[in-house]
């Protein structure tokens, strides 16, 4: 069992989420992933995460098209926690379960007033790294 937490959000592909071809615009994937990320950090009770966690890398692999009106699920899971960085894996799947996009997002901890990455605060490390229970 993986020790890191995850969160999901469900959305409907709206007209504004599509491009001239009629399927999802590439930016829609990131919006849905960010919504799942926000849900994850709400669940972890870490409201101070977003103002101090800029993205330093985003990798998106597109596999299938999503169409206007279709229901989707965006899932974000913490994949790795480093001293100053945090990498989340994500996937966006159609209502039929087909993965339309997957990838990773890496953030770093840059507290207010700092110009560079600093170690994550202990309360965040504890929240995303819960103690492992009996197997």
pLDDT tens digits for range 10-52: 999 999 999 999 899 999 999 999 999 999 999 999 999 999 9
Query: Is 50 part of a structural domain of the chain?
Result: yes
Query: Is 86 part of a structural domain of the chain?
Result: yes
Q: What strand order describes the sheet that includes 55-62?
A: 6-12, 71-81, 85-94, 99-108, 55-62
Q: Which of 76, 75, 77, 71 is nearest to 94 (CA)?
A: 71
Query: How many independent structural domains does the chain possess?
Result: 1
Query: Is 133 part of a structural domain of the chain?
Result: no
CATH code assigned at 43: 3.10.129.10
pTM, rounded to two decimals: 0.90
pLDDT value at position 129? 85
Q: At residue 69, does pLDDT exceed 80? A: yes
Query: Is 1 part of a structural domain of the chain?
Result: no
Query: Is 53 part of a structural domain of the chain?
Result: yes
pLDDT value at position 1? 38
What is the residue range of 54's domain? 6-128
Query: Is 100 part of a structural domain of the chain?
Result: yes
């Amino acid at each position: 069992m993986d020790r890191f937490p995850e969160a999901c959000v469900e959305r409907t592909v709206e007209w504004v989420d599509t491009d001239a071809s009629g399927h999802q615009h590439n930016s829609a994937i990131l919006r849905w992933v960010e919504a799942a990320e926000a849900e994850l950090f709400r669940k972890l009770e870490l409201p101070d995460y977003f103002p101090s966690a800029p993205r330093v890398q985003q990798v998106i692999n597109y596999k299938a098209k999503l169409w206007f009106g279709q229901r989707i699920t965006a899932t974000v899971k913490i994949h790795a926690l480093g001293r100053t960085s945090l990498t989340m894996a994500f996937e966006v799947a159609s209502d039929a379960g087909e993965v339309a996009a997957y990838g990773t997002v890496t953030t770093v901890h840059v507290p207010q007033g700092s110009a560079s990455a600093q170690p994550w605060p202990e309360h965040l490390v504890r929240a995303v790294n819960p103690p492992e229970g009996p197997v």
